[in-house]
Amino acid sequence: MAVIHNTALKPTKLELLTAWLPSRPWYSGGAHVPELAKAGGFRLDDPQGAVGIEFMVVTDTSGADPAGYLVPLTYRGAPLDGAEHALIGTMEHGVLGRRWAYDGCHDPVLVTQLQALIEGRVQAQDQNASDTPDREVTRSCLGDGLAPADFTTTATDDQEGTELPAPRGTTLRLRRLLRPGAPDNTPALPPDAIGHVAGSWHMPDGTRTRGLFAVLRTVPRA
């Protein structure tokens, strides 16, 4: 299990994201400098214990319409070869020293563990406490589970999220610009979904909502 250290980060995660978010196609804040707050999220464990994996939800109140974003992050003790384009920045960790923070959609460790979460082979962990499952994160997978899908980390961003293609007519789509669920906070799955991950976060007004974080879906064959 990952150990959560109560220590200082310089710069902080929110400071890194304030500089990085406006460069993303799914950032909806226009020319505004983001005004970010941590609003939720969860962690996954790396079986090798080397990579920190966090799915962070942040809210941005800089524009007329507050927005929520899902930011999958990985933290490494050394640069990830071939992932220079996905580097968000570096931080000095009070216990672990220098850490390289990446957009986790381009990190094979995060992608592999996210697939394992969808299939029910691993459990989401609390964002702020060691060895504590996060019971608010839900997942589903139709059938008996998937064979290893070999999702690529050649992720494609658009105005709503990030898509990772895989062989055999499967895609994994992450909702980066988050949409709150129905009035009863039940996320609605698209009709071609064969798996999902959903979770909760705090809105800027203090209310709590739920929505889809990731959807595994089939691609219609021509």
Do the domain assignments include residue 61? yes
Q: What is the predicted pLDDT for the residue at 220?
A: 59
Q: What is the predicted pLDDT for the residue at 145?
A: 53
Do the domain assignments include residue 158? yes
User: Largest alpha-carbon pair distance within the chain?
Assistant: 53
Beta pairing partners, 193: 217
Say how far apart CA 175 and CA 213 lie, in whole Å.
5
Cα-to-chain-centroid distance, residue 213: 7
Do the domain assignments include residue 200? yes
Do the domain assignments include residue 3? no
Do the domain assignments include residue 146? yes
Q: What percent of the chain has pLDDT over 70?
A: 87
Provide block-wise average pLDDT over 10 residues at a time, the chain (222 residues).
68 96 94 94 95 97 92 97 95 82 96 94 93 94 63 85 85 92 73 92 92 86 50
As given in the structure block, the two tokens for residue 109 are 């460790």
The total number of structural domains that make up the chain = 1
The domain in which residue 27 lies consists of: 9-218
Do the domain assignments include residue 27? yes
Q: Is 183 helix (H, G, I), strand (E, B) or coil?
A: coil
